[in-house]
Amino acid sequence: MSKLPFTGSGVAIVTPFKNGKINFDKLGELIEFHIANSTDAIIICGTTGESAAMPDAEHISAIEYTVQKVAGRIPVVAGAGSNDTHHGVNLSRDAQRVGADALLSVTPYYNKATQKGLVMHYSAIASAVDIPIILYNVPSRTGVNMLPETLLKLSEIDNIVGVKEAGGNISQVAKIASLCGDKMAIYSGDDDMIVPVMSLGGAGVISVLANILPKETHDITAHCLAGDYVSARQIQLKLYDLIKALFIEVNPIPVKTALNLMGFDVGELRLPLCEMEEKNLAVLRAEMEKAGIALKA
């Protein structure tokens, strides 16, 4: 297996928009905020970054800017998945060309590939690039669950190094760990399951929560990596209600709203995503305040 791109807390960073375009100055501010607060990797143009609403040229420009701004201080993992294998290959090549350290590649969505199709899809992408690939299994969004046996087959490909597992099924995580061992690193894709996943040998998290609490999210993973699950659990459980509030509406609506409440001014969401319902906004505000987050809006 190729070297892991990171261990610990990787932030699935939001994409700030202003007047319909990427606000690169604000993106740079967010990147510096994360580096100053111990985030271990930047995941740019993932689901939380609204990549599904970004044309390819804009998508690649966000990756390129992030690589240049980070300047090698922490790894940059680029979202480059697609439900069209040819498109996924081209997007992955472009992400490598502009300097991404690794790729995050979601399972094909809507057309719901078979397990054989998933192996063929990822084999094609892996053969087109040289950098490490983290697979992304999120059945609630894609409609397909990548099985542990499929991951075992894919673990034989040298530059497929890990999986972001966001199925909410700890039994499946255990089976992946049992079957694949150290041939497939596991990253939690659910912020409420960081400690359980890492207790089974997980390498870290690709996190929504880290957008607003980067140091605390890093600390959970650092404690786990050090074997201090008591300290990790204390932070995890303290933030449980806040994590639930961050998913009270479809991601990234709440987390982008939370950043605006904190004064980061990350701008609007792109349709079909829209502003939060008032009743849900009230819950989010209350949980942020309970967590000790200062609100400016």
Q: Give me the number of domains the chain comprises.
A: 1
Q: Please list, in sequence order, all residues whose beta carbon lies within 8 angstroms of the beta carbon of residue 284, skipping any fewer than 6 positions away.
A: 245, 246, 248, 254, 257, 258, 261, 276
Catalytic residue among 136, 215, 240, 296: 136
pLDDT tens for each residue of 265-279: 999 999 999 999 999
Pairing assessment for the beta strands 76-79 and 160-165 based on DSSP bridges: unpaired
Tokens 């040289």 belong to residue = 130
Catalytic residue among 26, 69, 122, 164: 164
Residue 268 domain flag: no
Please say if 65 is a catalytic residue.
no
Q: What's the pLDDT at 297?
A: 73
pLDDT tens for each residue of 47-94: 999 999 999 999 999 999 999 999 999 999 999 999 999 999 999 999
Q: Is the pTM of this model over 0.85?
A: yes
Residue 260 domain flag: no
36 burial (CB, 10 Å; 0-12 / 13-18 / 19+) is exposed
Residue 279 domain flag: no
Residue 217 domain flag: yes
Please give the backbone phi and psi of residue 156, each rounded to the nearest 5 degrees, phi first: -75, -15
Please say if 183 is a catalytic residue.
no
DSSP of 76-96, one letter per residue?
A: EEEE---SSHHHHHHHHHHHH
pLDDT profile of the chain (297 residues), mean per 10:
88 97 98 98 97 97 98 98 96 98 96 96 98 96 95 97 96 98 97 98 98 98 98 98 98 98 97 97 98 91
How many angstroms separate the CA atoms of 238 and 248, rounded? 18
Residue 188 domain flag: yes
Q: What's the pLDDT at 3?
A: 85
Residue 249 domain flag: no
Residue 40 domain flag: yes
Q: Please list, in sequence order, all residues whose beta carbon lies within 8 angstroms of the beta carbon of residue 69, skipping any fewer than 6 positions away.
A: 27, 28, 31, 32
Domain interval for residue 211? 8-226
What's 152's domain CATH number?
3.20.20.70
Residue 257 domain flag: no
